[in-house]
Amino acid sequence: MNDASLAALYEQYGHLIFLRCQRLLAHPADAEDAMHDVFVRAHRSPIPERSTLIWLYRIATNCCFDRLRNRRMVERKRLGDEEAHVDADPDRRALLTMVLRQVDEVTCEMGLLHHVDGLTQDEIAHECGYSRRTVGKKLEAFDVEFKARWQEAGGR
């Protein structure tokens, strides 16, 4: 991808990618760093013919998950317990992140689009190229997994 294409992507999608990163990371400074990482990674890859936003969201999700994983590792090292198991945090954001890591890629993307970005099932079907019924089934599976994890963590 050339610099002009990258600049055009940034201009068109930068704000949306920042919002995705901020929703996953919760800190504006971390979100801004992650957003820049997204476009560095995108620069190394060819732009897909369709669903450019979905492709960038996928890169953003991976960048954010990498940052969250690194943040936990640093925290464990700071506490002097590198081998400690990270217990499930009852916070919904942490549980959402956990569930997103456990489901297949398509369900993960649909879960993010619905629960993080607020897209309707019809909008997800249109963006991802799946039927509305498939989206509904994937989101139902996602919700079942989320509710099970929420109950395990002591949520109501």
* CA dihedral (46, 24, 37, 12) positive or negative: positive
Residue carrying the six token digits 């055009």: 8
The domain ranges of the chain are: 1-86, 87-156
Is residue 57 pLDDT above 80, yes or no? Answer: yes
pLDDT digits (tens, 9 = 90+) for 81-115: 443 333 334 466 677 777 777 888 788 888 878 87
pLDDT at 3: 84
CATH topology of domain 87-156: Arc Repressor Mutant, subunit A (1.10.10)
CA 8 to chain centre: 22
Mapping DSSP to helix (H, G, I), strand (E, B) and coil, where does residue 27 land? coil
The CATH class for the domain spanning 1-86 reads mainly alpha
| Equal CATH topology for 1-86 and 87-156 | no
pTM score over 0.75: no
Render 52-99 in DSSP notation, one character per residue.
HHHHHHHHHHHHHHHHHHHHHHHHHHHTT-TT---PPP-SHHHHHHHH
The predicted pLDDT at position 46 comes to 83
Rounded-to-integer distance, Cα 2 and Cα 40, Å: 12
In this model, does residue 35 exceed pLDDT 50?
yes
